[in-house]
Chains A and B, each alone.
Chain A
Amino acid sequence: MTVHHLLTKKPGIPDYVSYIRETDMDGIGPDGKPVRGYNAAGAGSPPKITSHDPSKAPHQMRLTKEEQDILDGKQGAVKAKLMKTVVRHGNLFGAEKLVDLGGNPHSSTFLGSPALKPIIDLLTDCADAGLKAYAPYTINPRPFDLYGVQTDREQELMIFESLPLQTELDHVHARLGARGMDIRSCMCYLPEVGNCPEPGTMVAWGESSAINAGNSIFGLRTNRNSMGMELLCALLGKAPYFGLMTDEGRMAKWLIEVKTSGEPDWGVLGGAIGEKCIEDVPYVTGIDKYFDGKITPQNLHKLKAMGSATASSGAVGLYHVENLTPDAVQHGRKLLAEGYQTYVIDDKEIDRVRSNYPNYWPKGQQPTGINIGCPHNTFHELVYWGTRITNELKKRGLKKVALPTQMFQSRVVSDHFMMEHPEMYATLFAAGVRFSNTCTVCFGGFDGYAENHFNVANSNKARKYTTARYLSDDDMIEVLMTGKIPE
């Protein structure tokens, strides 16, 4: 029985369903069981199949009566369209059902550029239909900060011309149930920001770095949801159950043996893992010794730097660290899937990966700015950088840093730092360091900005998405003091 037939013949289904393009399904065959197709796998694990047989019916998940009613338009056209998108997405990955979501959503839909009008229109349609997220949600940083760091005319013009739809986007977020702007951050799981659900909670987060931190560090269960899809799931309160939400999808296809002579560069390590594993789940050994036995607020940033780079250089949505991350502590090497591959990362490999990072700055170009915090800084990173910068200034008899320096973190995190370390905050501010709640990547992405701004960053993710050069912490300090990258 075709779905078109089902849709057009069922009593009580509104007319507009017939012009929702492509069909949907009951998800239940004539025998009352889910219609099964091939066993596609999900993101984060390799597909179970590598070919497609067009003679077989495509996979269709089983829906509850209420879900089917939504799909059939009984709760309105917009919600039907929304359900159709989510179901069709899940079917591609062999999802057998939708699951109810818990905790709070996190959205990576943060940029009000003209190019993203289609996604803003989509959200506006949902808000106009009266839809709201199942729980208040957090959002990535706003893409500019006119009061903190981008205060000159040139940059104001770039912002107003690049992001004319920002207010429209912020408005629709408020209508759909977003939390306030003071907590905007890609690091939604920090205690100051307050979006860190209990381990095991099913969520459908956006933001690649938050996704793999949530899955890996906090034991959440989320797939890698795109900008837009994370909110469609939030508005439904449901997500397709596949991939990294399942036990099977969380098995590691790679054993990563880190054998560096000392603490590795976390960003390059993550970049190496991402390039090698692409979307597969890695099980990382040899690094737990750098964490004093457990993940703490003081060492969380190491995993942030590694994890975010695995997701920007690859598509890693979950990693396990032996003796450290919750799944690995619970299951150990039983998480290694049959036939797993091994990748050894030593000093030589770190050097090889780093040496492949291109530099498109003009020859002899020295930096013009310094960005610290991609993903956003934690409170303890602010203390770390604040201590290093103020000590180094004192040691060298300097009053100011050499170049405009931006620290990026949520407003509530910099407030925390200011409250606990007011003198250090004041010293840094007087030295020219600024604190902003915007985004490093956005900072470097505006039209015209890259032509005459050459920033250095302590983030491999920022390197990936901007023209920033990625430096070690020690080299960052040298640039902070001298304005020049050490030879």
Chain B
Amino acid sequence: MLTGKSMTFSPALEERFAKLLTSYPPGRTRSAVVPMLLYAQDEVGFVSRELIDEVAKRCSVTPLQVDEVIGYYSMLHRHPIGKYNLQICTNISCQAVGAEQLMEYACRTLDLKNRETTPDGLITLEEVECMGACAWAPAIQINYDFHHKVTPERFDQLMAALRDGSYEKKAS
């Protein structure tokens, strides 16, 4: 059931949503469901029950039509994750140059298993599929930032930067 409450988002996101809803042919606002969920998740942190209802309302579809796509798209998640989503690709191009060892190294040094979050809520570790950086492997993404040719040393530097707050967006 739709709740009576409405969610509001930042002005930039509201502007993006307004544009999204006019991007598709007449009567096709359902098309905005997946983009809206992903963009909203970036701001809210995860796809909450409340967000499902809100997206349904805005796109003029039922909450079930929103709910059913969430399990399909691997980037959408129903529960909060860490501030930084650390994604390590281990697909074949990355595997060939040591990504599985990098994943093990990450598990060991962060004391995490795949899809776990550090107790302070800072880092969620996730083994992911090909992210399109094969020629510059091994590759990781921290939230949406690409980092190429990541060695254990580079990995340590990045983790230290996440912890001391000096991490800057850098596609290296």
Q: Verify that A and B bind, or say they do not.
A: no
